[in-house]
Amino acid sequence: MLDIILRNLSQRKVRTGLTVFGIALGIFAVIVMGSMSENFNQTFETSFSLTADKIRVFGSSGVFGGSVTTGKAAEVRKVPGVKDAYGLLMAPLEEGGAMSFGGNQIVGLPPEKSQTVLGPVKVKQGRFLMRGDRYETMIGTSIATQYNIGVGDRIEIRDKYFTVVGLLEYTGSFFDATAAVPLDSAQDVYDMGDMVSMIFVIPDDGVDGDLLARRIKLSVEGVDTLSPSELEKEARQSLMIFSVITVSAAVLAAIIGGLSVMNTMLMSVMERTKEFGILKAMGAERRDILIMTVGEAAIMGLLGGLLGLACGWVVVYGMNLWLAEKGIVLFLITYRLVAIAMLFAILLGTLSGIYPALRASRMSPMEALRYE
Amino acid sequence: MNNAKADIILKTRGLKETYMQGKVPVHALQGVDMEVKRGELISIVGPSGSGKSTLLSIIGMLEIPTEGEVFIDGVEVTGVKVKDIPRLRREKIGFVFQHFNLLPALTALGNVEIAMRFARVPKKERIRRATEVLTEMGLGERLNHKPSELSGGEQQRVSIARALANKPSIILADEPTGEVDTRTRDLIVGILRRLSDGGQTVIIVTHDVWVAERTDRIIRLVDGKVEDS
Ligand SMILES: Nc1ncnc2c1ncn2[C@@H]1O[C@H](COP(=O)(O)OP(=O)(O)OP(=O)(O)O)[C@@H](O)[C@H]1O
Ligand SMILES: [Mg+2]
């Protein structure tokens, strides 16, 4: 039956081509948008796994309230089960920059603690910060590429120059876009006084993070905590929203491709009314007609999927190369994404073919034969 | 007449077909009773609109009669389930049309071979059988020609070969000589005669007296009824 299907498709080359192109556009969108979403997903997974066991403590007025001071860290440290606790100040690196996916940020931390905070990440070159450092900084790979700097160079942060003493390994997480500086300097440069963004809590070995988070919240006044599981939940939620937005835009594009398949198939089924009549007179079963017509639609879906995938891959690859110079990674094509996109393309073709196929298979043979 | 011709292969009883043309009923058939013996070559004649094509399409199970029964090989085909009809059609009926109705994209071989696909005949066997019947029709040299590359007479022979592919018991031909010249007409009637001599039943609808006179028996339809001759 496949030979007949392919013959029918190749007989209407222009029409088949246009329809395949329609699907390809949709799948192209799915690949490009999807790979963006996949990249954020992966960044999050890595970032999360690198800091999974830590508890974050905020001022109770909110996550970004910043209304927690270095002094609170001492109180938190006294809670049983806490191994260590200290303030961190996070802020956008560039003036007017946003603290969001992909933006560069600074982290102000007690210099002697840099190994613990950044610990899961290896040092590629140079050293961690240490006690006594003031205008020294450690930077991630994205910042290094973007500013074209390395160990020994200087970087300007809000009118002050910081000397790069260490370069972090590439992780595929937010650490890549992070410059770590001593907390005191950060508070000075950003005019934050004694404020910190949050208190970073390291639990004693074997202590349950969620329980400890609850205990801290109860024993220290005016703070909120984000346990590892809460953090994960929160982050997953915003990630999910992002995924839904990007993916639904892409799916919409693909559905339009599907409608064009349906349109094409309806047209060619009508045109071939007489042919179906002849086939039925020769004893074709309804099933034969169905397979023939749905098969055509499914193959257009498959071809569109392959074409869209190829174009999407080329564009994503090109964009990644181009963005790499700027130290940004924005797209990630995963096996999962490829599988979903292809499955979607074939399913779309098949589903759009079902209605035209049913019409073809239901025609009365006599009427079909009389059709001119 | 030999014994094989004695048994009844086709019988209709009280066949009626009424079409609705908008709100006006058209009585295309008004009670047709007929019997055809195995191996007979018969013709159905009658004025235009008398119901000849309608009768043929009901016998060929392309249409369901409003009333009445059709028996083929003792099976009441008007009473079987809809899903069994394609199989019965393949086994019992071969169609030959006035306008040939070949698929233009397929070669002669392809047109004959496709008929056997629906019967799930394996590919090798399909090619062998299609080559065989086409050669019998004198088209051994034309296997790979498309319909557009064949003369009217050749196209009609391809369509006869297609009708024969599944070895049906009855060949139904609706004006098979309506679009060919007299020389080809003689050739086609000769072929149909040979099939009948070989034991196959052939029913021809025709306007051509010359053709009708060369069949075993003539059934005359007038206003949807068989006229006694
Ligand atoms: N699908 C249909 N809907 C309505 N009326 C129909 C339909 N098919 C046939 N008829 C009518 O039924 C009658 C018989 O038609 P049929 O085609 O059987 O005649 P015929 O004897 O084959 O004529 P001809 O010699 O011109 O081919 C005609 O009056 C025709 O108009
Ligand atoms: Mg007719």
Say whether both A78 and A196 belong to one domain: yes
Task: Say yes or no: CB of residue B19 within 6 Å of ligand 1.
Answer: yes
Phi-psi region of B41 (alpha: psi -120 to 50; beta: other; left: phi over 0): beta
Domain boundary (A190, A221, A252) is at A221
pLDDT surpassing 50 at residue A327: yes
Q: What are phi and psi of A40, to 5 degrees?
A: -65, -40
CATH number of this structure's domain B8-220: 3.40.50.300
| Nearest CA-CA distance, residue A277 and chain B, Å | 9
Say whether both A152 and A248 belong to one domain: no
Q: What does the pLDDT average to over A180-209?
A: 87
Contact criterion met (CB < 8 Å) for B63 and A288: no
Task: Kindly report the protein residue whose alpha carbon is nearest to atom 30 of ligand 1.
Answer: B49
**ipTM confidence:** 0.90
Domain boundary (A187, A221, A255) is at A221
The answer to whether residue A229 is domain-embedded is: no
Say whether both A36 and A92 belong to one domain: no
Write the CB contacts of B228 (distance below 8 Å, at least 6 apart in sequence): none
| Nearest CA-CA distance, residue B3 and chain A, Å | 30
Say whether both A67 and A210 belong to one domain: yes
The length of chain B, given as a count of residues: 229
pLDDT of residue B4: 47
B223 compared with A254, residue with greater pLDDT = B223
Calculate the average pLDDT of chain B.
91
Q: What are phi and psi of A5, to 5 degrees?
A: -60, -50
pLDDT surpassing 80 at residue B174: yes
CA distances to B90, B144, B152 from B148, in Å? 26, 12, 9
The answer to whether residue A54 is domain-embedded is: no
Say whether both A92 and A131 belong to one domain: yes
Atom of ligand 1 nearest to the CA of A366: 1
- pLDDT range class, residue A64, cuts 50, 70, 90: low
d(C-alpha A196, C-alpha A2), whole Å: 68
In B166-225, the residues whose Cβ lies within 8 Å of chain A are 166
Q: What does the pLDDT average to over A223-249?
A: 81
Token pair of B81, please? 């389930």
Q: Do A177 and A206 form a contact (C-beta atoms < 8 A)? A: no
Task: Say yes or no: CB of residue B206 within 6 Å of ligand 1.
Answer: no
pLDDT surpassing 90 at residue A190: no
Q: Mean pLDDT: which of A33-42, A52-61, A81-90, B125-134 is highest?
A: B125-134
Helix (H, G, I), strand (E, B) or coil at A181: strand
Percent of chain B whose predicted confidence (pLDDT) is above 70: 97
Phi-psi region of A62 (alpha: psi -120 to 50; beta: other; left: phi over 0): left
Domain that residue A365 falls in: 2-46+235-370
Residue boundaries of the structural domains of chain B:
8-220
pLDDT of residue B60: 93
pLDDT surpassing 70 at residue B11: yes
By C-alpha distance, which of B97, B130, B96 is closest to B115?
A: B130
Instruction: Indicate the top mutation candidate among B15, B19, B211, B219 to test ligand 1's pocket, ranked by most ligand atoms within 8 A of CB.
Output: B19
pLDDT of residue B61: 93
The answer to whether residue A319 is domain-embedded is: yes
pLDDT of residue A348: 87
d(C-alpha A250, C-alpha A348), whole Å: 13
pLDDT of residue B5: 43
pLDDT of residue B1: 44
Say whether both A165 and A249 belong to one domain: no
B147 compared with A71, residue with greater pLDDT = B147
CA distances to A255, A264, A265, B145, B215 from A352, in Å? 9, 10, 8, 35, 51
d(C-alpha A147, C-alpha A141), whole Å: 10
Residue of A282, A286, A366 with shortest CB distance to B63:
A366
Q: Which of A334-343, A354-363, B100-109, B127-136 has the lowest mean pLDDT?
A: A354-363
CA distances to A1, A26, A38, A265 from A304, in Å? 21, 9, 22, 15
Calculate the average pLDDT of chain A.
85
The answer to whether residue A120 is domain-embedded is: yes
d(C-alpha A283, C-alpha A65), whole Å: 77
Q: Scanning the structure block, which residue is given the tokens 């590892």?
A: A228
- Which of B53, B58, B62, B82 to mutate to test binding with chain A, by most A CBs within 10 Å of its CB? B62
Question: What are the residues facing A242 on neighbouring strands?
Answer: none
Q: Mean pLDDT: which of A57-61, A249-253, B219-223 is highest?
A: B219-223
Q: What does the pLDDT average to over A247-262?
A: 83
The answer to whether residue A13 is domain-embedded is: yes
The answer to whether residue A56 is domain-embedded is: no
Say whether both A213 and A247 belong to one domain: no
The answer to whether residue A211 is domain-embedded is: yes
Contacts with B57 from chain A: Cβ below 8 Å? 366, 369
Say whether both A87 and A166 belong to one domain: yes
pLDDT surpassing 70 at residue B6: no
What is the C-alpha radius of gyration for chain A, rounded to an integer number of angstroms? 29
By C-alpha distance, which of A76, A58, A103 is closest to A196?
A: A58
Strands of B217-222's sheet in order across: B93-96, B170-174, B201-205, B41-45, B217-222, B225-227
Q: What are phi and psi of A161, to 5 degrees?
A: -100, 130
pLDDT digits (tens, 9 = 90+) for A117-174: 777 778 888 898 888 889 999 999 888 988 889 898 999 888 889 999 999 888 777 7
d(C-alpha A65, C-alpha B43), whole Å: 98
pLDDT digits (tens, 9 = 90+) for B179-219: 888 888 999 999 999 999 999 999 999 999 999 999 999 99
The answer to whether residue A248 is domain-embedded is: yes
d(C-alpha A108, C-alpha A87), whole Å: 8
Instruction: Indicate the top mutation candidate among B29, B44, B52, B223 to test ligand 1's pocket, ranked by most ligand atoms within 8 A of CB.
Output: B52
Ion ligand 2 residue ranges (Cβ < 5 Å):
B 53
Task: Say yes or no: CB of residue B3 within 6 Å of ligand 1.
Answer: no
Say whether both A167 and A274 belong to one domain: no
pLDDT of residue B111: 93
Q: Do A202 and A39 form a contact (C-beta atoms < 8 A)? A: no
Q: What is the Å distance from ligand 2's center to B52 Cα? A: 6
CA distances to A80, A115, A198, B227 from A56, in Å? 16, 17, 6, 101
pLDDT surpassing 70 at residue A98: no
Strands annotated E in chain A: 55-59, 68-69, 82-92, 105-109, 123-126, 136-139, 154-157, 160-168, 178-182, 195-196, 198-203, 223-226
